[in-house]
Amino acid sequence: MAIGISFQWLFLLCLVSSVPFSLSRITPRFPSSLISPEKVSVSTTTKLYKTSYFTQTLDHFNFLPQSYQTFQQRYLINDTFWGGAKTKAPIFVYTGNEGEIEWFAQNTGFMFETAPHFKALLVFLEHRFYGKSIPFGGDKEVAYSNTSTLGYLSSTQALADYATLIIDLKNNISASESENCYQVIKESWQQIKDTAKTSKGINLLRKSFKLCKNYEYIGDYLESWLSTAFVYTAMTDYPTPSNFLNPLPAYPVKQMCKAIDNPKSGRNSNTFEKVYGAANIYYNYSGTATCFDLEDNSDPHGLSEWSWQACTEIILPTGGSTNESIFPAYEWHYSDRASSCQRAFGIHPRRTWITTHFGGFNISETIVAIVAKEGAHHVDLRFSTKEDPEWLKEVRKQEVRIIEGWISQYYHDLAHLSF
């Protein structure tokens, strides 16, 4: 599938010595790092990048049996500021050189500082035979032993590594955003229902989703539990870490999809593992939960009376589409809502009261709704941070200008009142 992602290659400048060249000169050793990349504080490296591995081909240019051997090539990735494949945001790639890739990433601040401006994805690729990207099972003694193994260390092989990895990365990025994450969740609902029909299946669901016990209607319970996770994560999809409903990372929806596509689970991992990984972002990002109680009705934020308002005057029609929604197909009927409200509270909803009393469309020319494509539930009202994206900063600037206009207009009108 063709995808429109622009590419930016960042090539390294070679330092040219002014000292005359001499074959008799001994090649100088690189200085030892005072702090090895692996020993830099966890908080620093976590903010800079995440580490991944790619199964790389040993020999790109021949068709000998040994050419098809593979090794694990390390790369570092930072998607904090990335605008996404659909927006044609660029990928900035650092092509690794002679050393551990973390060492270079931690000393290439220019890429991190310019990424917000371009909404770029940052990728640092490690050069074969360096760092942790060692062929022959990662054994340096074997890899460095003689010319038959070191013969695979060349600039042309390295460039082929980079091209292969980048193409695969682009394809996976596109799939994870537009197809795979969506498809896995969409297909999981029916699989859960089918599995819940037998006692063996119930035990499988309990184990897969780390439930505290079995439930008689486990399929329905799980559907509600998972839907809650997906809905509220989307609602609080903030660009910075938060603890509004639950502790969540920055861009938690993206993290859910990453959990579904997590290479650690492997391509053959089942749907339940992937969906559990996504739900775990919402329910257990702190890592403190050991099992989940699907009958937990605790109300830590004091929201219980919302059900009364949702049954009296705030009637919100919601439904799902079989063809498009990631949720199970559901056709909303007012009569169903009215019946449930009657059972719960013994009252009948005033279905049109909100629009009758407040109006449902353009209330005023001066009450402006600012539409932010990447917005989330009152994200603009949250405390600002250094990590806030540019679009959020601009939204807040617009709001300040609007408020200034209200205040200015108020005092202007007050000054011209006639009694």
At 319-343, the pLDDT tens digits run: 766 677 888 888 889 999 999 999 9
Place of tokens 């775990």: 280
Please report which helix (H) or strand (E) contains residue 132, including its range.
Answer: none
* Mean pLDDT in residue range 56-62: 94
* Mean pLDDT in residue range 222-246: 93
pLDDT in tens, 61-108: 999 999 999 999 999 999 889 988 778 889 999 999 999 999 999 999
- What is d(CA 329, CA 350) in angstroms, rounded to the nearest whole number? 27
Domain boundaries, the chain: 50-174, 179-284, 305-358, 379-417
User: In the CATH scheme, what is the homologous superfamily, with its name and number, of domain 179-284?
Assistant: Serine carboxypeptidase S28, SKS domain (1.20.120.980)
Q: In this model, does residue 203 exceed pLDDT 60?
A: yes
pLDDT in tens, 186-201: 999 999 999 999 999 9
Q: In this model, does residue 234 exceed pLDDT 90?
A: yes
- What is d(CA 13, CA 172) in angstroms, rounded to the nearest whole number? 30
Q: Which of 8, 176, 174 is nearest to 87 (CA)?
A: 174
* Mean pLDDT in residue range 349-371: 77
Longest CA–CA separation in the chain, Å: 99
Residues of the chain with pLDDT > 90: what percent? 56
- Average pLDDT of the chain, as a whole number: 83
- What is d(CA 393, CA 81) in angstroms, rounded to the nearest whole number? 14
The pLDDT of residue 216 is 84
Cβ burial, residue 324 (10 Å; 0-12/13-18/19+): exposed
The pLDDT of residue 404 is 94
* One-letter identity of residue 237: D
- Banded pLDDT at 373 (limits 50, 70, 90): confident
CB neighbour list of residue 33: distance below 8 Å, 6 or more residues apart: 103
Q: In this model, does residue 58 exceed pLDDT 80?
A: yes
Distances (CA, A) of 292 to 93, 160, 231, 320, 341: 41, 47, 18, 26, 28
- What is d(CA 186, CA 120) in angstroms, rounded to the nearest whole number? 29
The pLDDT of residue 26 is 41
Place of tokens 């070191």: 150
* Mean pLDDT in residue range 403-416: 91
The pTM (predicted TM-score) of the whole model is: 0.58
Q: Name the architecture of domain 50-174.
A: 3-Layer(aba) Sandwich (3.40)
Neighbours of 91 (CB within 10 A): 22
pLDDT in tens, 129-167: 999 999 999 999 999 999 999 999 999 999 999 999 998
The pLDDT of residue 269 is 57
The pLDDT of residue 37 is 42
Q: Order across the sheet with 121-125: list the strands.
A: 7-10, 91-95, 121-125, 70-78, 50-57
